[in-house]
Chain A
């Protein structure tokens, strides 16, 4: 079973920041937090990962709390094309365990 808890759905206005939370209270010391997304039955797409520090790339930012028990994925300026299911994954890098994720709907 997935080691993460995410809200099942969220809405965000186009152009606004989308903040997607994830709880992973049982994360162990060396486990990374990964974020993927899946747009309408396409293959999952890697977004970002982190261990302890906050991370940023061209797609998103990842904020990890100091105790590492939760994190937030931030899409700074959401577009309609960001509508997707977003998965927060903790655990084996070789064997991704997908949960149900958060369905993010970006509204015009």
Chain B
């Protein structure tokens, strides 16, 4: 069964350093997402990406964050200058498009996550 993969599983970095988290979405999917979950807290939406551009982003997704689909398979999240509060589990997800009747719906498939620890 196809699945979303993420690398690395755990990333440790020093405050102020840049990190790139990588994801390989399911191959025929068109929509890509990043979420994060700080330890013990809720899963929070960061950004969605479709047709090579950001379609939605949350307040968390500020100028320190960027996303890219550098080739036909990878989807990356870059944090330019990490802060202590960026320590979290970062989940990538992907989905196909479904239209049925008046509404758009989809099922998002999540990867296993990358645990980012900022020291």
Contact = CB atoms under 8 A, between A and B. Distances in A.
Contacts of A49: 105, 107
B46 to A, nearest CB: 10
B55 interface: yes
B103 A31 contact: yes
Interface string A80-99: 00000001000011111111
Given A41-B89, A98-B42, A98-B44, A46 B107 contact: yes
A97 B59 CA distance: 13
A72 B24 CA distance: 33
B105 A97 contact: no
A95 B110 contact: no
Given A44-B91, A93-B103, A95-B58, 13 more contacts: A34-B107, A41-B37, A41-B113, A42-B112, A43-B111, A43-B113, A44-B93, A46-B107, A46-B108, A51-B105, A93-B106, A94-B106, A96-B35
Contact of B31 (A32, A45, A94): A94
Interface of A: 30-32, 34, 38, 41-46, 49, 51, 87, 92-100
Contact of B43 (A44, A92, A93): A44
Interface of B: 4, 31, 33, 35, 37, 42-45, 48, 55-56, 58, 89, 91, 93, 101-113
Given A30-B102, A43-B112, A46-B109, A95 B91 contact: no
A49 to B, nearest CB: 6
A49 B107 CA distance: 8
B106 A95 contact: no
Contacts of B111: 43
A34 B107 CA distance: 8
